[in-house]
Structure 1
C-alpha cells in the first residue's frame, strides 16, 4: 500500500483517487459523487454526456481513467507524492527549513556571494544591464557581426573558421607521428602506473588485502565494459584474466564510487601536465548528452525517435573542462530535457576545479536554469539556437537602447524577485548544500510547463543574466568563439567515446540504472585514461620538438587535440604486458616515420 500525500494543488486529485473504490462496480453514480472540477477537455463529455448514460448519472469507468491521468500528471510534478520514497517523494520536504536553514544561511550566502536583502543587489544588476545595453548599442554601427531585421530582431553573422597556419599543420603532423603505438590495455596499465588510479578500487567488503595483479584484472574489466565487448575477448592464460577472477573483481571492486575515485586521480594528473595547462585553466566546462540505444526492455530507457528510432534509449549527460578532462556525468532516461539535470552534474563532480563558466547546447537552456546557475555562482553560456526568437529583456521601460530597442521587448519584474528573495535563497541554499537535487527543484518550480510564482521569480532573475549573455555574444566575437571551441571539445570527446564503445554496435545492454551507470562509469574512466595517455606523450613530443629547434608556437600548441586515436588500438588485440619503462615513458617515434604499425 503506497502512502500518498499531496500539496494543496494536488489534494483534489488525491481525494478523487481515494474515493474511487466507493464508485467501482456500481450501476449508477451521480454527478455529486465525483469531482467535476477534474474533468478537463474531452473528459467532461466522456464522463457526463456519453450517449449510453441514464439521466442523472455519470460514467464512473471514464472518470476512473480521468483521475488516473491527473494522478500521473501530479506525480510527475510532485504535487502528489509518496511518503518515504526517494524517487516519488516530496522534494519540498528536503528543502532546508526552520533552524536548519537559519544555521546554513550565513555559510550559503558567503560562499555564493549573495546578500540577505535583495534591494541593493537587484539595483546593481539593473545598473549593469542598463549600462551594458548602452555600451553595446553604441558599438553597433562598427559591429559587422550582427544585423537587425525589419522587426528589430537580432541576427548573428556566421563565425568564420579560424585559419590553420602552416606552422600549426606542421606541428600537428609531427606530434601525431611521434606518439607511440600501443594497445588499449597497455595504455590503461601505464596510466595506472603513473597515477595510482587502480588503488581507488577497493573491496566492497572492506578488506584491505590486495589480490595479486589486481591492476591487471581491473584493466581487463575496464576494457570489457568500456569497449562493450564483455569478458571473452580479454580472458587469457594469466590467473588475473580468468573468468572466475574477472567475475569476482567485477562484483567486489567495480562500482560507481570506485570509478569516481579513480577518475579523480586521472583528473588531477591531467591538470598537472603543461600541455593541458596551455589548453585552459580548468575553469571553463561544458555539459552535453551522449545518447545510447537500449535494445533490451528497461524502465530506465525512454523512446526518442530523433535519437533512438523506434527503440528506447538513455543519455549520458557528462561534463568536460577546457583541459580535456571529463569531470563526471549522470545517466538519465532518453527523453527529458538536459536542463533538468545540468546543475546536478555540476554539483556532483568526480574531481577537478569548480568551473566558473558553463557551456551547454540549446536543449539545456531555460530561464529558470539561467536563474539557478547564476545564483549558484556560474557564468552560464548556452549556445542559443534561433536567436531572433530569443526575447531580450529590460528593466527600464523608458530607456532608449538604440538598435536593441525592439529586440528588448520583455520586461524583468524586480519587485517579483524581491518578494520571493528569501525563498529563492532557501532554494539555492538547499541545492548548494546537497539537501535536495536540482532536478527535483526544477520540476517543483514548474507545473504543466508553466512556472509557479516562485519559479517565475527565479526565471525573471535568470532573464537578466540571459540578456547580458546575448549582449556579450553580440559584442564579443571572441566570446562566441570560446563557446564554440568548448562545444567542439565536447564533440571530440563523444567521437572518441564512440570509437571506444564499439562492441554490440555501440548499444547499451543494461536493464537497470545501476548497471547503466557502472558501465558508462567504465567508459568515462577509459576515455579519461586515453586522453591522459595522449596528453602526456603529446607534451613530451612538444618538449622534444622545441629542444630540436622545431618551429613550436604557443598559439599552435593551444590548438592541439588530445582526441586523436590513430595511435591506440581498441579493436580485438588486447595485450596486458606492460613493458619496462626505465625513463617513465615509452620512446617517442621519429616525426618522419611512416605509420606502418
Structure 2
C-alpha cells in the first residue's frame, strides 16, 4: 500500500479514506484496530458482511475486500488517480487552463452553441428540474407506484416495478420464423465469412516486413480477434496440428500484426462495406451509432467530426460522420 501514492477527486475522497485507513491498520495491533473505520457509501449487501454487530465491530477480511472493490471502481472512473500515470492519471490535468483555454473558448462555445456564462446554460435545466419536482409533489399522495420504507433505521425510496406485458402470439410466431430462417454458424466461421465479404484481414500487415504474407494468415488473424474480443486469451482458439492455429503462430501474429494502425484500417474496411448495404442506408447517414444498449448521435456541428467519403457526397458542405459499425463485433451484430 505504501508503494503507490493515490490521489482523489472530490468524488473519490471517501474511497481513498478507506484505503488510507487500511494502510494505517498495517502498523496497528489489537482487536480494536478497525474501530472508527470509515464506512460512508457502503451498500446494503456489503454492510451485512462488513459490520458485525455495531459500526465499531468490523469484519477485517470483508472490509478489506470492500475497500479494494471501491478503489478499483474509482480507478476505472478516474475519481482516484496516480500522479504521472498515463492510464490512471488525473483526468483534469488534460484540461486546457489559463490563457490556452481562453484562446479557444469562444470557438468552442460557438461550436457547441453554448452561452458564455455557466448560469445561463444551467438555467433551463434548473427550471425543468423544479417543474418536475413540483409535479411529483402534487401527485405524490395519489401515486401508488412510489413510497418510502424504513430499512435499518433509514428511509429509502421504493418504486413499484412495472407489470410484465405478455408477448402476443403473433410476436412469438414471428420470432420463431425469423430464428428458423437465420443460419447458426459458429463464431469463428462467421468472422471468416465476414472476411470473405470485406477482406478486412488484408489490413493487417507485418510491422517490419510490409506486405509479406504467410499461408492462411487470415485464419490466424480471425483467431486472435476472437481471443481479444471475447477476452478469453489464446488457449481456447489454439488447435494442435493446424499450422495457422498453433500457439506459437498465434502469438507471433498478435505481436507483429496487431497494432492501432492495422486495427483502424480493418475497421475502415468494415465501415466501407457496411455503408454500401441497402439496409444500412435505410437506417440513415451514419450520424447515429448504437453499442451496448446506448445510442450515440454525432451532431452536424462538432469539432470532433471528420470526413468520411464513403457515406456523404464529396461536395457536401460538412462531412461529419460517426460510423454505424465502429468495430468487428458491432459489424457482426448489424
Q: Name the TM-score, length of structure 2 as normaliser.
A: 0.51
Partner of 1:480: none
Whether 1:123 and 2:123 are equivalent positions in the alignment is yes
Task: Determine the C-alpha separation between the residues in 2 that align with 1:113 and 1:241.
Answer: 53
Partner of 2:98: 98
Are the structure 2 counterparts of residues 121 and 211 from structure 1 closer, same or farther at C-alpha, using a change threshold of 3 Å? same
Whether 1:230 and 2:235 are equivalent positions in the alignment is yes
Asked whether the equivalents of residues 149 and 158 of structure 2 are also in contact (C-alpha less than 8 Å), the reply is no
Partner of 1:148: 147
Task: Determine the C-alpha separation between the residues in 2 that align with 1:106 and 1:192.
Answer: 46
Written as runs of structure 1 = structure 2, the 5 A alignment for 1:544-555 is: none
Asked whether the equivalents of residues 238 and 246 of structure 2 are also in contact (C-alpha less than 8 Å), the reply is no
Whether 1:252 and 2:54 are equivalent positions in the alignment is no
Task: Determine the C-alpha separation between the residues in 2 that align with 1:201 and 1:98.
Answer: 43
Task: Determine the C-alpha separation between the residues in 2 that align with 1:240 and 1:150.
Answer: 61
Whether 1:191 and 2:190 are equivalent positions in the alignment is no
Residue correspondences, number: 238
Written as runs of structure 1 = structure 2, the 5 A alignment for 1:333-348 is: none
Task: Determine the C-alpha separation between the residues in 2 that align with 1:122 and 1:183.
Answer: 51
Partner of 2:183: 180
Asked whether the equivalents of residues 235 and 247 of structure 2 are also in contact (C-alpha less than 8 Å), the reply is no
Written as runs of structure 1 = structure 2, the 5 A alignment for 1:412-451 is: none
Asked whether the equivalents of residues 266 and 528 of structure 1 are also in contact (C-alpha less than 8 Å), the reply is no
Asked whether the equivalents of residues 321 and 355 of structure 1 are also in contact (C-alpha less than 8 Å), the reply is no
Q: Secondary structure at the match of 1:204?
A: coil
Partner of 1:220: 223
Are the structure 2 counterparts of residues 204 and 101 from structure 1 closer, same or farther at C-alpha, using a change threshold of 3 Å? farther
Question: Once the 2 structures are TM-superposed, how far is the Cα of residue 96 of structure 1 from its aligned partner?
Answer: 1.2
Higher relative contact order (CA 8 A, sep 6+): 1
Task: Determine the C-alpha separation between the residues in 2 that align with 1:97 and 1:267.
Answer: 37
Q: Secondary structure at the match of 1:155?
A: strand
Question: Once the 2 structures are TM-superposed, how far is the Cα of residue 222 of structure 1 from its aligned partner?
Answer: 3.1
Unaligned runs of 5+ in 1: 7-40, 47-72, 286-318, 324-352, 357-376, 378-428, 434-523, 533-597
Asked whether the equivalents of residues 185 and 220 of structure 1 are also in contact (C-alpha less than 8 Å), the reply is yes
Question: Once the 2 structures are TM-superposed, how far is the Cα of residue 191 of structure 1 from its aligned partner?
Answer: 1.1
Q: Name the TM-score, length of structure 1 as normaliser.
A: 0.31
Asked whether the equivalents of residues 238 and 245 of structure 2 are also in contact (C-alpha less than 8 Å), the reply is no
Task: Determine the C-alpha separation between the residues in 2 that align with 1:168 and 1:78.
Answer: 45
Unaligned runs of 5+ in 2: 8-23, 30-70, 306-326
Task: Determine the C-alpha separation between the residues in 2 that align with 1:214 and 1:187.
Answer: 16
Are the structure 2 counterparts of residues 320 and 231 from structure 1 closer, same or farther at C-alpha, using a change threshold of 3 Å? closer
Q: CA offsets per residue over residues 38-70 of structure 1, 9 Å max, x none?
A: xxx999999xxxxxxxxxxxxxxxxxxxxxxxx
Question: Once the 2 structures are TM-superposed, how far is the Cα of residue 173 of structure 1 from its aligned partner?
Answer: 0.9
Question: Once the 2 structures are TM-superposed, how far is the Cα of residue 189 of structure 1 from its aligned partner?
Answer: 1.4
Asked whether the equivalents of residues 201 and 262 of structure 1 are also in contact (C-alpha less than 8 Å), the reply is yes
Q: CA offsets per residue over residues 525-580 of structure 1, 9 Å max, x none?
A: 4x446534xxxxxxxxxxxxxxxxxxxxxxxxxxxxxxxxxxxxxxxxxxxxxxxx
Are the structure 2 counterparts of residues 156 and 121 from structure 1 closer, same or farther at C-alpha, using a change threshold of 3 Å? same
Are the structure 2 counterparts of residues 80 and 221 from structure 1 closer, same or farther at C-alpha, using a change threshold of 3 Å? closer
Asked whether the equivalents of residues 223 and 237 of structure 2 are also in contact (C-alpha less than 8 Å), the reply is no
Written as runs of structure 1 = structure 2, the 5 A alignment for 1:243-392 is: 245-255=249-259, 258-259=262-263, 261-263=265-267, 266=270, 274=279, 283=288, 320-321=292-293, 354=297
Task: Determine the C-alpha separation between the residues in 2 that align with 1:187 and 1:43.
Answer: 53
Task: Determine the C-alpha separation between the residues in 2 that align with 1:242 and 1:42.
Answer: 49
Partner of 1:398: none
Task: Determine the C-alpha separation between the residues in 2 that align with 1:44 and 1:242.
Answer: 50
Partner of 1:170: 173
CA RMSD of aligned residues (A): 5.1
